[in-house]
Every structure is written in C-alpha cells, then in structure tokens.
Amino acid sequence: MPATEPVATPGPAAAGPGDDVIHDIGFRHYDGPRLGRAWVVRSLLVETVRGCFGLGRPARSKVMPWSLIGILLIPPLIIALSILLIGGDELPVTYTQYPNALQLVVSLFVAGAAPYCVSRDLRHGVMPLYLSRPMMRTDYVLAKFAGLALAVLGVLALAQTLLLIGALLAKLPVGAQLVGWASGLLVSVVLAVLLSAITLVVAAFTPRRGFGVAAIITILVVVSGVAEMLTAVAQDRGLTTAAAYLPALDPFNLVDGIAVRLLGAESARGHDVPPGVLGGLTFLVVTAAVVAGCLALLIRRYRKVGVV
C-alpha cells in the first residue's frame, strides 16, 4: 500500500453498515464470504457440545466426562447379561426409570459440564469478544443452553440405546422394547432440558469453575434429599396431596411424574404421583415454567456482562 494514501477506502463488503464486523482500518481488505449471525451461533453450539465431552480440550479434561459416561454405560451391560443368564421377559429397570436410578451420575455429569460452558468465559472476561461479532446476548445464552442440553441428552440417549440393544440381543419382544425406548428418549429430552436450565443458572453466577461444580452438585443432592424427607413426613401425617406433589421439588422426580402420568410408565422411586392426566399436565407446566424462569434469569444475568 503506498504511503501517500493515508486513509484507505472502505472495502466493498463494508458498504452497508452493520453487515461487516471485520473492522476495516485500512490494512488488508476482506472480500470473502460473511457467514453471519446464524453461523456464529451454530459454531458456539458445536463447540459447547464438543467441550462437554472434553473434545478439543487437553487429555485431562477428557478423563472426568468419559469416566462418568463409562459408569452410566456399565449398568445396561450388566442388565443385558443378567437377562441372558437368568432369563426373564422384561428389563429389571425400565427405560424411563434408568436416568432416575443413576441420578447421582447424571447429576455429576451435568455439574461438570455446566461450569465448563459458561464459567470460563465470565472469569476470563472474554464476553466482549463474543459480543463484538454479529451475535446477540440472547443468542449466546441460547446456544450455550442448547449445547449443554444436547450433550446431556446424548449421554442419556446412549445409555438408553445400549439398554435397548441389550434387550433386543436377549430376544425380548421387539415392539414393547421399541415403545419403551421411545418413551425413555422422551423422558431424557425433558430431563436434559430441565437439568441444563437449572445448572446453567447456578454456573453463570459462579465464575470459579471448581466452586461451580460443588455448588451445582450440592444443590441437586440436597434438594433431592430434602424432597425425600419432606415426602416421608407428609406421608406420616397423612397429607396425601402434599405427599404426591412434594417429590416434584427434585427435578428427577418431576420428570418421573410426567413419565408416570403422560407416558404410563412405572414410577422409578415408588412415590405417589398426583392422579390422572391433570397431575401429569401440572408437572409438565411446572417443568416448562422452571425452564422458562431459568432462561429468563440467564438472559437477565447476561444483560450487563461484558459492559465495562
């Protein structure tokens, strides 16, 4: 570039204001394709899903997610073997009960993944870099949320599918197993969305990763324990309505209640569930309200992030 030309003319792509974000300050023009807002969101989502499994991160970040996934996948193998050896015509744990039976491991996976998704960006103050792209704050929140939910769903679906393969290899009736597997996947979707929303809120308020993990798992475990104790108390006092609704304090029981009432599954913990389709719909509405509330909180949290 000649020195006699101090002010560079804007490149052709910078013609319309707003559609060019690679700031042209006169050194080198860019005429290539602009992928735009949707592509940024897509990339962020893919990166989040990969990161939850430790892909694209150093080896020691892969240890924890994959050992937890390993623990989640062992029971289906044992179940399949036990049906083969002992016989029987149904699974000892149904598809909808499975995420509930391994509640702790699922919680640990989410607790490890959620702070990874949001805490580092907050802690290292790189939000302004994201926001200088053609991406809204809401896009960032939704991409992270969708990424985490997809990762959790992937883990749950993998375990369910392994259970299905085991059942089919053991020559259990195909139709019933496929129906059970489909309802198990539905439950997994609801559970993944619910857990992701709750844990992301906690993670977004704890910029330190280690403490984020501890806070999330503490909240999930304590809420579950408190729900159990309160339900037992309500049953002792003969408060049947309360005993049916109190377990729903625990996200896993909430999803279980939906499965029992709307999908006709067996309850995982043998809790009372509010009667009829109405009970199931109530739980579904509560789930939707919790997810919406958590997302609103997240968007609110991110409204001021990155503003210096």
Partner 1 sequence: MNAVVMQLTLRGLLGRRRALLLLVLPALLLVLAGIVRWASGADVFATVGLTENFAFGTLLPLMCLLIGTGVIGSEIDDGSIVYLLAKPLPRRTIILSKLAVAWGAAFVFAVLPLVAAVEIAGDDGGRLGLAYGVAATLAALTYTSLFVALSVVTRNAVIIGLLYALLWETVLGGYVPGIRNVSVRQWALATAESILGDYAYVWGVLSAVGQTAALGLLAATTVGAVVLAVRRLETLRLTATD
Residues of this chain that bind partner 1 (CB under 8 A) = 57-58, 60-61, 63-64, 68, 71, 104-105, 108, 111-112, 120, 205-206, 208-211, 213-215, 217-218, 221-222, 225-226, 228-230, 232-233, 236-237
What are the phi and psi torsion angles at 250 (to 5°)?
-90, 125
Query: Nearest to residue 117, comparing CAs of 142, 138, 145?
Result: 145
Cα–Cα nearest to 170, from 75, 84, 89: 84
Is the CB of 136 or the CB of 221 nearer to partner 1? 221
- Exposed e or buried b for every residue in 91-105, given b needs 16+ CB within 10 A? bebbbbbbbbbbbeb
Shortest gap between Cβ of 182 and partner 1 (angstroms)?
28
Least spacing, CB of residue 188 vs partner 1, in Å: 21
Name the residue nearer to partner 1 (CB basis): 71 or 73. Answer: 71
Residue 8 backbone dihedrals phi, psi, to 5 degrees: -75, 145
- Minimum distance from CB of 302 to partner 1 (Å)? 18
Which of 177, 253 has the CB closer to partner 1?
A: 253
Least distance in angstroms from the C-beta of 234 to partner 1: 8
**Complex with partner 1: residue 215 or 298, whichever CB lies closer:** 215
Residues 244 and 274 sit within 8 Å (Cβ to Cβ): yes
Closest approach of Cβ 284 to partner 1, in Å? Answer: 28
Closer CB to partner 1, 30 or 211, in the complex: 211
Element containing residue 127 per DSSP (H, E): helix 127-131
CB of 123 to partner 1, least distance (A): 8
Which residue lies nearer to partner 1 by CB, 72 or 194?
A: 72
Ramachandran class of 69: left when φ > 0, alpha when ψ lies in -120 to 50, beta otherwise: alpha
User: What is the C-alpha separation between 158 and 155, in angstroms, rounded?
Assistant: 5
Instruction: Output b/e per residue, 25-43; b: 16+ Cβ within 10 A.
Output: eeeeeeeeeeeeeeebbee
Q: Judged by CB, which is closer to partner 1: 191, or 227?
A: 227
CA–chain centroid gap for 135, Å, is: 22
Q: How buried is residue 283: exposed, middle or buried, by Cβ count under 10 Å (0-12/13-18/19+)?
A: buried
Q: Report the nearest approach of partner 1 to the CB of residue 207 (Å).
A: 10
